[in-house]
Amino acid sequence: MTKIAIVVFSDTDTIEALGKVSNAFMLASEAIEHGDELKIIFEGAGAKWIGELEKEDHKLHGLYKGLKNNITGVCSFCAQAFGVKSQIEKAGVPLISEYKNHPSLRNLVVEGFQIITF
């Protein structure tokens, strides 16, 4: 079985960033269709995406809602640092703090995941 970890670092402030998240979600959808083991993690400025994607009028809201159950979580440190922790908690998306209050990307490598960043 293929193991894919999608990590979104991209900020929310440009059309390029929107394209990156859209492409991350396309890969996630394809992985799900093929029965791959999938993890989706929002890290760094990417933590800001959850609050944006929760908005019903956002272009990617529908796609996000369809993938929300597959989101592994958001970096706990970055959620706090970017001031979006309450938005993430309200959305019901887990905060990840495996290594010094961050997700452990090393653990993903050890577990055999291919890490793809957007």
- CATH number (domain holding residue 45): 3.40.1260.10
The answer to whether 62 and 68 are in contact (CB under 8 A) is: no
What pLDDT is attached to residue 74? 98
Could you list the pLDDT tens digit for every one of the 118 residues in the chain? 899 999 999 999 999 999 999 999 999 999 999 999 999 999 999 999 999 999 999 999 999 999 999 999 999 999 999 999 999 999 999 999 999 999 999 999 999 999 999 9
73 CB contacts (<8 Å, ≥6 apart)?
41, 42, 93, 94, 95, 96, 103
User: Can you give the C-alpha Rg of the chain in angstroms?
Assistant: 13
Place of tokens 């960033």: 17
Write down the H helix ranges in 1-118.
15-33, 49-53, 61-67, 76-81, 85-91, 105-110
Count of structural domains within the chain: 1
Q: Range of 16's domain?
A: 3-117
